[in-house]
Chains A and B, each alone.
Chain A
Amino acid sequence: MGYAAARGGLTAIKRAEELVARLRDNHSSAQLELDQITGRLRLLVDRIMGEAGLWAPEFAALAVRQAEGDAIEAIHLLRAYKSTLPRFAVARVNDADEMVPERRVVPAFREPGGPQILGRSTDYTARMLDPKARDAMPRRAVSTAHDDDESASKRTADTIARPAGWPEMRRMSDVLRDMGLLVDRRRGDDPEPFDITRMPAKPPAPRSARLSTMARAETGALVNQWYRNILGPDGYLHEVTLGEVRHGSLSLSVTHPITGGEVTIGNFRVTEVEAIEDLDGIDEDRGSFDVGYGMCLGHNERKAIAMANLDIACHRDGSKSPLEQSILMTTDGLDSAGFLEHLKLPHYVTFRSMIERKVAVRRAHDERKRD
Protein backbone atom coordinates (compact mmCIF):
# COMPACT_ATOMS: atom_id res chain seq x y z
CA MET A 1 0.00 0.00 0.00
CA GLY A 2 1.06 3.58 -0.35
CA TYR A 3 -0.04 6.55 1.70
CA ALA A 4 1.73 9.70 2.79
CA ALA A 5 5.04 8.65 1.31
CA ALA A 6 4.95 5.18 2.86
CA ARG A 7 4.69 1.92 0.99
CA GLY A 8 5.06 -1.80 1.48
CA GLY A 9 3.47 -4.44 3.66
CA LEU A 10 1.26 -5.86 0.91
CA THR A 11 1.64 -9.42 2.13
CA ALA A 12 0.72 -8.48 5.69
CA ILE A 13 -2.29 -6.49 4.46
CA LYS A 14 -3.54 -9.43 2.40
CA ARG A 15 -3.10 -11.77 5.36
CA ALA A 16 -5.00 -9.37 7.62
CA GLU A 17 -7.86 -9.28 5.09
CA GLU A 18 -7.84 -13.07 4.88
CA LEU A 19 -7.87 -13.32 8.68
CA VAL A 20 -10.97 -11.13 8.86
CA ALA A 21 -12.74 -13.13 6.16
CA ARG A 22 -11.73 -16.55 7.51
CA LEU A 23 -12.67 -15.88 11.14
CA ARG A 24 -15.97 -14.36 10.00
CA ASP A 25 -16.91 -16.97 7.41
CA ASN A 26 -15.60 -20.04 9.24
CA HIS A 27 -17.22 -19.30 12.57
CA SER A 28 -18.65 -22.43 14.15
CA SER A 29 -22.20 -21.06 14.18
CA ALA A 30 -24.57 -21.31 11.20
CA GLN A 31 -24.03 -18.63 8.56
CA LEU A 32 -26.40 -15.65 8.81
CA GLU A 33 -28.71 -15.79 5.81
CA LEU A 34 -29.59 -12.49 4.15
CA ASP A 35 -33.31 -12.89 4.78
CA GLN A 36 -32.55 -13.36 8.47
CA ILE A 37 -30.79 -10.02 8.50
CA THR A 38 -33.50 -8.19 6.54
CA GLY A 39 -36.27 -9.89 8.53
CA ARG A 40 -34.86 -9.88 12.05
CA LEU A 41 -32.50 -6.89 12.02
CA ARG A 42 -34.74 -4.64 9.93
CA LEU A 43 -33.93 -1.42 11.78
CA LEU A 44 -30.22 -1.90 11.24
CA VAL A 45 -30.83 -2.65 7.56
CA ASP A 46 -33.04 0.45 7.30
CA ARG A 47 -30.33 2.59 8.86
CA ILE A 48 -27.69 1.25 6.49
CA MET A 49 -29.88 1.98 3.46
CA GLY A 50 -30.75 5.47 4.67
CA GLU A 51 -27.17 6.49 5.34
CA ALA A 52 -25.92 4.88 2.15
CA GLY A 53 -28.70 6.64 0.21
CA LEU A 54 -29.79 3.45 -1.54
CA TRP A 55 -32.98 1.41 -1.12
CA ALA A 56 -31.61 -2.12 -1.47
CA PRO A 57 -32.57 -4.33 1.49
CA GLU A 58 -30.79 -7.46 0.29
CA PHE A 59 -27.56 -5.64 -0.49
CA ALA A 60 -27.71 -3.75 2.79
CA ALA A 61 -27.97 -7.11 4.55
CA LEU A 62 -25.03 -8.36 2.50
CA ALA A 63 -23.04 -5.33 3.60
CA VAL A 64 -23.96 -5.87 7.26
CA ARG A 65 -22.79 -9.47 7.03
CA GLN A 66 -19.56 -8.60 5.25
CA ALA A 67 -18.84 -5.75 7.69
CA GLU A 68 -19.45 -8.00 10.70
CA GLY A 69 -22.21 -5.72 11.92
CA ASP A 70 -20.17 -2.49 11.74
CA ALA A 71 -22.82 -0.03 10.54
CA ILE A 72 -20.45 2.62 9.17
CA GLU A 73 -18.42 -0.03 7.35
CA ALA A 74 -21.60 -1.50 5.88
CA ILE A 75 -22.74 1.97 4.75
CA HIS A 76 -19.31 2.47 3.15
CA LEU A 77 -19.62 -0.83 1.26
CA LEU A 78 -23.13 -0.05 0.03
CA ARG A 79 -22.36 3.52 -0.98
CA ALA A 80 -19.21 2.40 -2.79
CA TYR A 81 -21.25 -0.23 -4.63
CA LYS A 82 -23.84 2.39 -5.56
CA SER A 83 -21.14 4.63 -6.98
CA THR A 84 -20.32 1.95 -9.57
CA LEU A 85 -23.87 1.81 -10.92
CA PRO A 86 -25.53 3.82 -13.68
CA ARG A 87 -28.60 5.88 -12.81
CA PHE A 88 -31.31 4.85 -15.27
CA ALA A 89 -34.06 7.30 -14.46
CA VAL A 90 -35.80 9.56 -12.01
CA ALA A 91 -38.87 7.89 -10.57
CA ARG A 92 -42.23 9.65 -10.58
CA VAL A 93 -42.05 12.29 -7.84
CA ASN A 94 -43.85 11.05 -4.74
CA ASP A 95 -46.05 13.46 -2.87
CA ALA A 96 -45.51 12.86 0.84
CA ASP A 97 -49.30 12.57 1.23
CA GLU A 98 -49.25 9.38 -0.86
CA MET A 99 -47.65 7.42 1.95
CA VAL A 100 -49.50 4.26 2.98
CA PRO A 101 -48.98 4.44 6.73
CA GLU A 102 -47.99 1.60 9.00
CA ARG A 103 -47.72 3.90 11.98
CA ARG A 104 -48.84 7.40 12.83
CA VAL A 105 -48.67 9.34 16.09
CA VAL A 106 -49.47 13.01 16.63
CA PRO A 107 -47.89 14.20 19.89
CA ALA A 108 -49.31 17.73 19.41
CA PHE A 109 -53.00 16.86 19.26
CA ARG A 110 -55.16 14.27 20.97
CA GLU A 111 -57.67 14.13 18.15
CA PRO A 112 -55.93 14.93 14.88
CA GLY A 113 -57.60 14.30 11.54
CA GLY A 114 -57.82 10.49 11.49
CA PRO A 115 -56.60 7.91 13.95
CA GLN A 116 -53.33 7.62 15.78
CA ILE A 117 -51.86 4.19 15.11
CA LEU A 118 -48.98 2.87 17.16
CA GLY A 119 -48.07 0.21 14.60
CA ARG A 120 -44.81 -1.60 15.14
CA SER A 121 -43.58 0.29 18.16
CA THR A 122 -42.07 -0.29 21.57
CA ASP A 123 -42.53 3.35 22.61
CA TYR A 124 -44.66 2.39 25.62
CA THR A 125 -42.94 -0.88 26.43
CA ALA A 126 -40.67 -1.37 29.43
CA ARG A 127 -37.12 -2.06 28.29
CA MET A 128 -36.71 -5.50 29.81
CA LEU A 129 -34.22 -7.97 28.42
CA ASP A 130 -35.97 -11.28 27.88
CA PRO A 131 -33.69 -14.08 29.14
CA LYS A 132 -36.27 -16.67 28.13
CA ALA A 133 -35.60 -15.82 24.49
CA ARG A 134 -31.96 -16.91 24.75
CA ASP A 135 -32.52 -20.30 23.19
CA ALA A 136 -35.30 -19.59 20.71
CA MET A 137 -37.53 -16.70 19.83
CA PRO A 138 -41.10 -17.97 20.25
CA ARG A 139 -43.46 -17.75 17.29
CA ARG A 140 -46.30 -15.45 18.17
CA ALA A 141 -49.95 -15.38 17.10
CA VAL A 142 -51.42 -12.59 14.99
CA SER A 143 -53.82 -10.23 16.70
CA THR A 144 -56.02 -7.96 14.63
CA ALA A 145 -58.96 -5.64 15.03
CA HIS A 146 -61.19 -8.49 13.81
CA ASP A 147 -60.15 -10.95 16.47
CA ASP A 148 -63.34 -10.46 18.41
CA ASP A 149 -65.59 -11.72 15.64
CA GLU A 150 -63.36 -13.82 13.40
CA SER A 151 -60.10 -15.63 14.07
CA ALA A 152 -57.16 -14.76 11.88
CA SER A 153 -56.77 -18.37 10.83
CA LYS A 154 -60.30 -18.48 9.38
CA ARG A 155 -59.80 -15.54 7.07
CA THR A 156 -59.05 -16.55 3.51
CA ALA A 157 -58.25 -14.85 0.25
CA ASP A 158 -61.98 -14.90 -0.51
CA THR A 159 -63.02 -13.10 2.64
CA ILE A 160 -60.33 -10.43 2.34
CA ALA A 161 -59.71 -10.09 -1.35
CA ARG A 162 -58.89 -6.39 -1.33
CA PRO A 163 -57.72 -3.93 1.27
CA ALA A 164 -60.54 -1.92 2.74
CA GLY A 165 -58.54 1.28 2.40
CA TRP A 166 -56.91 3.33 5.09
CA PRO A 167 -58.82 5.89 7.10
CA GLU A 168 -57.99 9.44 6.09
CA MET A 169 -55.18 10.91 8.13
CA ARG A 170 -55.12 14.65 7.74
CA ARG A 171 -51.64 15.89 8.49
CA MET A 172 -51.17 18.26 11.39
CA SER A 173 -49.65 21.01 9.25
CA ASP A 174 -52.84 21.02 7.13
CA VAL A 175 -54.97 21.23 10.27
CA LEU A 176 -52.96 24.27 11.43
CA ARG A 177 -53.15 25.75 7.94
CA ASP A 178 -56.94 25.42 7.97
CA MET A 179 -57.03 27.18 11.34
CA GLY A 180 -55.01 30.03 9.87
CA LEU A 181 -52.22 29.35 12.33
CA LEU A 182 -49.46 28.29 9.96
CA VAL A 183 -46.99 30.53 8.16
CA ASP A 184 -47.53 29.87 4.46
CA ARG A 185 -44.22 28.94 2.87
CA ARG A 186 -45.67 27.06 -0.11
CA ARG A 187 -43.71 27.78 -3.26
CA GLY A 188 -45.31 28.63 -6.57
CA ASP A 189 -42.29 27.52 -8.57
CA ASP A 190 -40.76 24.06 -8.81
CA PRO A 191 -36.96 24.28 -8.72
CA GLU A 192 -34.87 21.22 -9.58
CA PRO A 193 -33.68 19.66 -6.33
CA PHE A 194 -30.00 19.81 -5.43
CA ASP A 195 -28.23 16.49 -5.99
CA ILE A 196 -25.65 15.98 -3.23
CA THR A 197 -24.35 12.85 -4.97
CA ARG A 198 -23.14 14.99 -7.88
CA MET A 199 -21.89 18.07 -6.05
CA PRO A 200 -21.08 18.69 -2.39
CA ALA A 201 -23.46 21.14 -0.75
CA LYS A 202 -21.92 24.21 0.85
CA PRO A 203 -23.64 27.07 2.67
CA PRO A 204 -25.66 28.93 1.72
CA ALA A 205 -27.43 25.99 0.09
CA PRO A 206 -30.98 25.52 -1.13
CA ARG A 207 -33.30 23.79 1.31
CA SER A 208 -33.44 20.70 -0.95
CA ALA A 209 -29.69 20.26 -0.37
CA ARG A 210 -30.16 20.42 3.40
CA LEU A 211 -33.03 17.93 3.29
CA SER A 212 -31.05 15.49 1.13
CA THR A 213 -27.97 15.88 3.32
CA MET A 214 -29.95 15.14 6.47
CA ALA A 215 -31.84 12.24 4.86
CA ARG A 216 -28.45 10.62 4.20
CA ALA A 217 -26.70 11.82 7.35
CA GLU A 218 -25.39 9.55 10.07
CA THR A 219 -28.19 9.07 12.58
CA GLY A 220 -26.00 9.66 15.63
CA ALA A 221 -24.47 12.79 14.11
CA LEU A 222 -27.88 14.27 13.41
CA VAL A 223 -29.18 13.43 16.88
CA ASN A 224 -26.04 14.99 18.32
CA GLN A 225 -26.54 18.16 16.25
CA TRP A 226 -30.06 18.41 17.60
CA TYR A 227 -29.02 17.74 21.21
CA ARG A 228 -26.08 20.15 21.31
CA ASN A 229 -28.46 22.80 19.97
CA ILE A 230 -31.03 22.03 22.64
CA LEU A 231 -28.84 21.50 25.70
CA GLY A 232 -25.33 22.14 24.47
CA PRO A 233 -23.37 25.24 23.59
CA ASP A 234 -24.94 26.02 20.20
CA GLY A 235 -28.51 26.79 21.25
CA TYR A 236 -30.00 27.51 17.84
CA LEU A 237 -33.00 25.27 18.50
CA HIS A 238 -36.12 25.40 20.60
CA GLU A 239 -37.67 22.28 22.01
CA VAL A 240 -40.48 21.92 19.49
CA THR A 241 -43.71 19.91 19.46
CA LEU A 242 -44.02 17.10 16.97
CA GLY A 243 -47.02 17.29 14.67
CA GLU A 244 -46.64 14.02 12.81
CA VAL A 245 -44.51 10.94 13.24
CA ARG A 246 -45.28 8.48 10.46
CA HIS A 247 -43.75 5.34 9.07
CA GLY A 248 -45.11 3.81 5.89
CA SER A 249 -44.60 3.05 2.22
CA LEU A 250 -44.33 5.10 -0.92
CA SER A 251 -44.62 3.61 -4.38
CA LEU A 252 -41.81 3.57 -6.92
CA SER A 253 -43.24 4.28 -10.36
CA VAL A 254 -41.41 4.75 -13.63
CA THR A 255 -42.42 5.34 -17.23
CA HIS A 256 -42.84 2.33 -19.47
CA PRO A 257 -40.58 3.23 -22.43
CA ILE A 258 -42.86 1.64 -25.01
CA THR A 259 -46.32 2.74 -23.90
CA GLY A 260 -45.31 5.94 -22.09
CA GLY A 261 -47.63 4.87 -19.27
CA GLU A 262 -46.74 4.70 -15.60
CA VAL A 263 -45.66 1.39 -14.05
CA THR A 264 -45.32 0.85 -10.32
CA ILE A 265 -42.40 -1.52 -9.86
CA GLY A 266 -42.56 -1.70 -6.07
CA ASN A 267 -42.44 0.36 -2.94
CA PHE A 268 -40.02 1.62 -0.34
CA ARG A 269 -40.55 2.51 3.29
CA VAL A 270 -39.89 5.92 4.81
CA THR A 271 -40.19 7.71 8.13
CA GLU A 272 -41.69 11.18 8.12
CA VAL A 273 -41.87 13.85 10.84
CA GLU A 274 -43.36 17.33 11.15
CA ALA A 275 -41.92 19.55 13.90
CA ILE A 276 -44.11 22.49 14.93
CA GLU A 277 -42.24 25.61 15.94
CA ASP A 278 -43.77 28.29 18.17
CA LEU A 279 -42.55 31.47 16.47
CA ASP A 280 -41.43 34.08 18.96
CA GLY A 281 -38.75 36.06 17.13
CA ILE A 282 -38.91 39.82 16.95
CA ASP A 283 -39.20 39.70 13.16
CA GLU A 284 -41.51 36.69 13.08
CA ASP A 285 -45.29 36.31 12.95
CA ARG A 286 -45.92 35.55 16.60
CA GLY A 287 -49.53 34.66 15.89
CA SER A 288 -48.48 31.69 13.78
CA PHE A 289 -46.59 28.45 13.92
CA ASP A 290 -44.04 27.22 11.43
CA VAL A 291 -43.19 23.60 10.66
CA GLY A 292 -39.94 21.77 9.97
CA TYR A 293 -39.91 18.60 7.89
CA GLY A 294 -37.96 15.38 8.02
CA MET A 295 -38.09 12.25 5.91
CA CYS A 296 -35.58 9.43 5.62
CA LEU A 297 -35.46 5.94 4.15
CA GLY A 298 -36.71 3.04 6.26
CA HIS A 299 -37.92 3.13 9.83
CA ASN A 300 -35.70 5.56 11.70
CA GLU A 301 -37.72 7.92 13.87
CA ARG A 302 -34.79 9.40 15.79
CA LYS A 303 -33.25 10.58 12.58
CA ALA A 304 -36.45 11.99 11.08
CA ILE A 305 -37.27 13.86 14.32
CA ALA A 306 -33.80 15.42 14.48
CA MET A 307 -34.05 16.27 10.78
CA ALA A 308 -37.41 18.04 11.12
CA ASN A 309 -36.16 20.04 14.12
CA LEU A 310 -32.97 21.06 12.32
CA ASP A 311 -34.90 21.94 9.15
CA ILE A 312 -37.00 24.56 10.92
CA ALA A 313 -34.02 25.74 12.97
CA CYS A 314 -32.03 26.34 9.77
CA HIS A 315 -34.92 28.20 8.19
CA ARG A 316 -35.33 30.48 11.20
CA ASP A 317 -31.60 31.01 11.46
CA GLY A 318 -31.32 32.15 7.84
CA SER A 319 -27.62 31.22 7.55
CA LYS A 320 -26.66 33.75 10.25
CA SER A 321 -25.02 31.13 12.46
CA PRO A 322 -22.75 28.14 11.68
CA LEU A 323 -25.74 25.78 12.02
CA GLU A 324 -26.23 25.20 8.29
CA GLN A 325 -22.51 24.63 7.82
CA SER A 326 -22.51 22.10 10.66
CA ILE A 327 -25.39 20.21 9.10
CA LEU A 328 -24.08 20.26 5.54
CA MET A 329 -20.45 19.56 6.30
CA THR A 330 -20.20 17.48 9.46
CA THR A 331 -23.12 15.03 9.57
CA ASP A 332 -22.14 12.61 6.83
CA GLY A 333 -21.04 9.39 8.50
CA LEU A 334 -18.76 8.33 5.72
CA ASP A 335 -17.01 11.70 5.63
CA SER A 336 -16.47 11.90 9.38
CA ALA A 337 -15.58 8.24 9.94
CA GLY A 338 -13.32 8.24 6.91
CA PHE A 339 -11.43 11.28 8.13
CA LEU A 340 -11.21 9.84 11.64
CA GLU A 341 -10.01 6.44 10.49
CA HIS A 342 -7.39 7.81 8.15
CA LEU A 343 -5.51 8.72 11.33
CA LYS A 344 -4.66 4.99 11.63
CA LEU A 345 -2.69 5.06 8.38
CA PRO A 346 1.07 5.66 8.47
CA HIS A 347 1.90 9.31 9.10
CA TYR A 348 5.64 8.66 9.39
CA VAL A 349 6.79 11.51 7.18
CA THR A 350 4.60 14.19 8.71
CA PHE A 351 5.37 13.03 12.24
CA ARG A 352 9.12 12.78 11.54
CA SER A 353 9.08 16.37 10.33
CA MET A 354 7.28 17.34 13.54
CA ILE A 355 9.98 15.60 15.58
CA GLU A 356 12.68 17.34 13.57
CA ARG A 357 11.04 20.70 14.26
CA LYS A 358 10.83 19.92 17.98
CA VAL A 359 14.48 18.88 18.03
CA ALA A 360 15.46 22.06 16.16
CA VAL A 361 13.47 24.23 18.58
CA ARG A 362 15.02 22.44 21.54
CA ARG A 363 18.52 22.83 20.05
CA ALA A 364 17.98 26.53 19.40
CA HIS A 365 16.65 26.94 22.93
CA ASP A 366 19.68 25.13 24.39
CA GLU A 367 22.06 27.23 22.29
CA ARG A 368 20.39 30.43 23.49
CA LYS A 369 20.76 29.24 27.08
CA ARG A 370 24.46 28.44 26.56
CA ASP A 371 25.04 31.88 25.01
Chain B
Amino acid sequence: MPIFPRNEHTANSPSREETCAIAAQMADAEIVSLVNSLIDAGDIGSLERVREAQVGTVQLQVREPICHERFILADALVTIAEVIVDGSVGWAMRLGANIEAATAAAVLDGWLADHTDGAPTKKRVIDSLLSAQRRDSYERNVMQQEVLATAIEFEELD
Protein backbone atom coordinates (compact mmCIF):
# COMPACT_ATOMS: atom_id res chain seq x y z
CA MET B 1 0.00 0.00 0.00
CA PRO B 2 1.55 3.31 -0.99
CA ILE B 3 2.36 5.98 1.55
CA PHE B 4 -0.35 8.56 1.07
CA PRO B 5 0.45 12.23 0.34
CA ARG B 6 -1.05 13.54 3.57
CA ASN B 7 1.69 13.83 6.23
CA GLU B 8 4.23 13.67 3.42
CA HIS B 9 7.56 14.98 4.60
CA THR B 10 8.50 18.38 3.20
CA ALA B 11 11.01 19.88 5.65
CA ASN B 12 14.49 18.73 6.66
CA SER B 13 13.30 17.43 9.98
CA PRO B 14 9.96 15.64 9.82
CA SER B 15 7.43 16.20 12.60
CA ARG B 16 6.39 13.46 14.98
CA GLU B 17 3.12 13.08 13.07
CA GLU B 18 5.06 12.69 9.83
CA THR B 19 7.38 10.00 11.16
CA CYS B 20 4.39 8.29 12.77
CA ALA B 21 2.61 8.30 9.40
CA ILE B 22 5.59 6.85 7.57
CA ALA B 23 6.04 4.16 10.24
CA ALA B 24 2.33 3.37 10.00
CA GLN B 25 2.56 2.79 6.26
CA MET B 26 5.85 0.91 5.93
CA ALA B 27 5.64 -2.78 5.13
CA ASP B 28 5.23 -5.04 8.18
CA ALA B 29 8.62 -6.68 7.81
CA GLU B 30 10.36 -3.37 7.16
CA ILE B 31 9.21 -1.62 10.34
CA VAL B 32 9.86 -4.70 12.48
CA SER B 33 13.36 -5.03 11.02
CA LEU B 34 14.14 -1.34 11.60
CA VAL B 35 13.14 -1.50 15.27
CA ASN B 36 14.88 -4.83 15.82
CA SER B 37 18.08 -3.29 14.49
CA LEU B 38 17.80 -0.55 17.14
CA ILE B 39 17.22 -3.10 19.89
CA ASP B 40 20.10 -5.30 18.68
CA ALA B 41 22.45 -2.31 18.61
CA GLY B 42 21.54 -1.42 22.20
CA ASP B 43 20.00 1.91 21.15
CA ILE B 44 16.82 1.14 23.05
CA GLY B 45 17.21 0.83 26.80
CA SER B 46 14.00 0.09 28.65
CA LEU B 47 10.82 -0.94 26.94
CA GLU B 48 7.41 -1.65 28.42
CA ARG B 49 3.86 -1.93 27.17
CA VAL B 50 1.34 0.65 28.33
CA ARG B 51 -1.32 -1.86 27.31
CA GLU B 52 -1.53 -4.93 25.11
CA ALA B 53 -1.55 -4.09 21.42
CA GLN B 54 -5.06 -4.64 20.13
CA VAL B 55 -6.85 -5.24 16.84
CA GLY B 56 -10.00 -3.19 16.28
CA THR B 57 -11.67 -0.82 13.88
CA VAL B 58 -11.84 2.85 12.99
CA GLN B 59 -15.02 4.31 11.57
CA LEU B 60 -14.77 5.92 8.13
CA GLN B 61 -17.02 8.91 7.51
CA VAL B 62 -17.34 10.82 4.26
CA ARG B 63 -18.83 14.24 3.58
CA GLU B 64 -20.64 13.91 0.25
CA PRO B 65 -20.62 16.83 -2.19
CA ILE B 66 -24.33 17.28 -2.99
CA CYS B 67 -25.85 18.14 0.40
CA HIS B 68 -22.48 18.39 2.22
CA GLU B 69 -23.81 15.75 4.56
CA ARG B 70 -21.73 13.18 6.47
CA PHE B 71 -22.45 9.48 6.23
CA ILE B 72 -20.72 6.37 7.54
CA LEU B 73 -19.08 4.54 4.67
CA ALA B 74 -17.65 1.59 6.60
CA ASP B 75 -14.96 0.75 9.15
CA ALA B 76 -11.30 -0.08 8.64
CA LEU B 77 -9.38 -2.85 10.39
CA VAL B 78 -6.49 -1.44 12.43
CA THR B 79 -4.05 -2.45 15.15
CA ILE B 80 -3.18 -0.04 17.93
CA ALA B 81 -0.14 -0.16 20.24
CA GLU B 82 1.15 2.00 23.07
CA VAL B 83 4.52 1.55 24.76
CA ILE B 84 7.05 3.38 26.94
CA VAL B 85 10.54 3.59 25.46
CA ASP B 86 13.24 4.85 27.80
CA GLY B 87 10.56 6.76 29.68
CA SER B 88 8.92 8.24 26.61
CA VAL B 89 5.41 7.21 25.51
CA GLY B 90 5.14 5.89 21.97
CA TRP B 91 1.93 5.25 20.08
CA ALA B 92 1.02 3.72 16.74
CA MET B 93 -1.99 2.70 14.73
CA ARG B 94 -1.54 0.65 11.55
CA LEU B 95 -4.02 -0.70 9.02
CA GLY B 96 -4.54 -4.46 9.23
CA ALA B 97 -4.05 -6.90 12.05
CA ASN B 98 -0.36 -7.21 12.84
CA ILE B 99 0.44 -6.83 16.54
CA GLU B 100 4.20 -7.09 16.03
CA ALA B 101 4.36 -4.39 13.35
CA ALA B 102 2.10 -2.02 15.32
CA THR B 103 4.20 -2.51 18.44
CA ALA B 104 7.37 -1.84 16.45
CA ALA B 105 5.87 1.38 15.07
CA ALA B 106 4.90 2.48 18.60
CA VAL B 107 8.43 1.74 19.84
CA LEU B 108 9.83 3.85 17.02
CA ASP B 109 7.42 6.70 17.81
CA GLY B 110 8.49 6.73 21.47
CA TRP B 111 12.18 6.34 20.64
CA LEU B 112 12.16 9.20 18.14
CA ALA B 113 10.31 11.44 20.63
CA ASP B 114 12.98 10.70 23.24
CA HIS B 115 15.98 11.56 21.05
CA THR B 116 17.15 15.00 20.11
CA ASP B 117 17.38 16.01 16.50
CA GLY B 118 20.83 15.64 15.00
CA ALA B 119 21.91 12.63 17.06
CA PRO B 120 23.67 10.26 14.61
CA THR B 121 21.45 7.24 15.25
CA LYS B 122 18.28 9.28 15.04
CA LYS B 123 19.49 10.82 11.80
CA ARG B 124 20.12 7.33 10.41
CA VAL B 125 16.64 6.19 11.40
CA ILE B 126 15.01 9.31 9.94
CA ASP B 127 16.95 8.72 6.72
CA SER B 128 15.55 5.16 6.60
CA LEU B 129 12.02 6.46 7.04
CA LEU B 130 12.46 9.15 4.40
CA SER B 131 13.96 6.62 2.04
CA ALA B 132 10.87 4.41 2.47
CA GLN B 133 8.69 7.43 1.82
CA ARG B 134 10.64 8.39 -1.30
CA ARG B 135 10.37 4.85 -2.62
CA ASP B 136 6.62 4.85 -2.16
CA SER B 137 6.33 8.31 -3.71
CA TYR B 138 8.23 7.01 -6.68
CA GLU B 139 5.95 3.98 -7.02
CA ARG B 140 2.92 6.21 -6.69
CA ASN B 141 4.23 8.52 -9.35
CA VAL B 142 4.93 5.65 -11.74
CA MET B 143 1.35 4.48 -11.23
CA GLN B 144 0.09 8.02 -11.77
CA GLN B 145 1.93 8.21 -15.09
CA GLU B 146 0.44 4.89 -16.12
CA VAL B 147 -3.06 6.03 -15.19
CA LEU B 148 -2.67 9.42 -16.90
CA ALA B 149 -1.66 7.59 -20.07
CA THR B 150 -5.27 6.40 -20.26
CA ALA B 151 -6.67 9.96 -20.48
CA ILE B 152 -9.24 10.04 -23.26
CA GLU B 153 -10.81 12.72 -25.42
CA PHE B 154 -14.07 11.67 -27.00
CA GLU B 155 -15.23 13.22 -30.25
CA GLU B 156 -18.83 14.10 -30.95
CA LEU B 157 -20.15 12.81 -34.25
CA ASP B 158 -22.03 15.23 -36.49
Q: Would you give the 0/1 interface string for A235-277, flagging 1 where the beta carbon is closer than 8 Å to chain B?
A: 0000000000000011111101111011111111010001000
Interface residues on A, range: 35 or more
Once the chains bind, are A87 and B56 in contact (CB under 8 Å)? Answer: yes
Contacts of A281 in B (CB 8 A): none
Known contacts A54-B75, A95-B63; A146 and B145 CB within 8 A of each other:
yes
Known contacts A55-B77, A144-B142, A259-B17; A162 and B61 CB within 8 A of each other:
no
Contacts of A161 in B (CB 8 A): 134, 137-138
Q: Which of B65, B66, B80, B150 has the most CB of A within 10 A?
A: B66
Q: How far is the CB of B22 from chain A (nearest CB, A)?
A: 10
- Considering the complex, give the chain A residue whose CB is closest to the CB of B94: A265
Stretch of B2-10, B36-44, B117-125 at the chain-chain interface? B2-10
Tell me if A143 is interfacial: C-beta within 8 Å of chain B: yes
* Residue in contact with A193 in the complex, picked from B70, B93, B94, CB distance below 8 Å: B70
Which residues in window 109-158 of B have CB below 8 A to A?
Answer: 113, 134-135, 137-138, 140-154, 156
Q: How far is the CB of A331 from chain B (nearest CB, A)?
A: 15
Q: How far is the CB of A190 from chain B (nearest CB, A)?
A: 7
Contacts of B145 in A (CB 8 A): 144-146, 160
Stretch of A126-134, A166-174, A223-231, A351-359 at the chain-chain interface? A166-174
Q: Would you give the 0/1 interface string for A284-296, flagging 1 where the beta carbon is closer than 8 Å to chain B?
A: 0000000111011
Once the chains bind, are B59 and A103 in contact (CB under 8 Å)? Answer: no
Once the chains bind, are A208 and B72 in contact (CB under 8 Å)? Answer: yes
Q: How far is the CA of A191 from the CA of B72 in the complex (A)?
A: 12
Q: How far is the CA of A130 from the CA of B4 in the complex (A)?
A: 36
Contacts of B74 in A (CB 8 A): 49-50, 53-55, 215-216, 297
Once the chains bind, are A118 and B56 in contact (CB under 8 Å)? Answer: no
Q: How far is the CA of A258 from the CA of B62 in the complex (A)?
A: 25
Q: How far is the CB of A248 from chain B (nearest CB, A)?
A: 9
Q: How far is the CB of A191 from chain B (nearest CB, A)?
A: 7
Q: Would you give the 0/1 interface string for A151-193, flagging 1 where the beta carbon is closer than 8 Å to chain B?
A: 0100101001111101000010110000000000111001111
Tell me if A25 is interfacial: C-beta within 8 Å of chain B: no
Once the chains bind, are A208 and B69 in contact (CB under 8 Å)? Answer: yes
Once the chains bind, are B67 and A163 in contact (CB under 8 Å)? Answer: no
Tell me if B73 is interfacial: C-beta within 8 Å of chain A: yes
Tell me if A137 is interfacial: C-beta within 8 Å of chain B: no
Contacts of B64 in A (CB 8 A): 96, 211, 293, 295
Known contacts A173-B66, A295-B62; A163 and B137 CB within 8 A of each other:
yes
Contacts of A82 in B (CB 8 A): 57, 75, 77
* Residue in contact with B93 in the complex, picked from A97, A164, A265, CB distance below 8 Å: A265
Q: How far is the CA of A166 from the CA of B151 in the complex (A)?
A: 12
Q: How far is the CB of A2 from chain B (nearest CB, A)?
A: 32
Known contacts A55-B76, A143-B146, A266-B95; A93 and B61 CB within 8 A of each other:
yes
* Residue in contact with A291 in the complex, picked from B17, B25, B66, CB distance below 8 Å: B66
Which residues in window 295-325 of A have CB below 8 A to B?
Answer: 295-297
Contacts of A146 in B (CB 8 A): 145
Once the chains bind, are B58 and A89 in contact (CB under 8 Å)? Answer: yes
Tell me if A330 is interfacial: C-beta within 8 Å of chain B: no
- Where chain B touches its partner, the secondary structure class is mixed
Q: How far is the CB of B106 from chain A (nearest CB, A)?
A: 11
Contacts of A155 in B (CB 8 A): 142
- Considering the complex, give the chain B residue whose CB is closest to the CB of A51: B74
Once the chains bind, are A103 and B61 in contact (CB under 8 Å)? Answer: no
Known contacts A88-B57, A254-B58, A256-B20; A157 and B5 CB within 8 A of each other:
no
Once the chains bind, are A268 and B156 in contact (CB under 8 Å)? Answer: no
Tell me if B33 is interfacial: C-beta within 8 Å of chain A: no
Q: How far is the CA of A349 from the CA of B89 in the complex (A)?
A: 61
Q: How far is the CA of A183 from the CA of B62 in the complex (A)?
A: 21
Contacts of A163 in B (CB 8 A): 5, 137, 140-141, 144
Once the chains bind, are B77 and A56 in contact (CB under 8 Å)? Answer: yes
Tell me if A350 is interfacial: C-beta within 8 Å of chain B: no
Q: How far is the CA of A157 from the CA of B143 in the complex (A)?
A: 13
Tell me if A102 is interfacial: C-beta within 8 Å of chain B: yes
Contacts of B73 in A (CB 8 A): 212, 215, 270, 295-297
Once the chains bind, are B93 and A263 in contact (CB under 8 Å)? Answer: yes
A interface, CB within 8 angstroms of B? 49-50, 53-56, 58-59, 82, 85-91, 93-97, 100, 102-103, 110, 115-121, 142-147, 152, 155, 157, 160-164, 166, 171, 173-174, 185-187, 190-197, 207-208, 211-212, 215-216, 249-254, 256-259, 261-268, 270, 274, 291-293, 295-297
B interface, CB within 8 angstroms of A? 1-2, 4-7, 15-17, 20-21, 24-25, 54-78, 80, 82, 89, 91, 93-97, 113, 134-135, 137-138, 140-154, 156
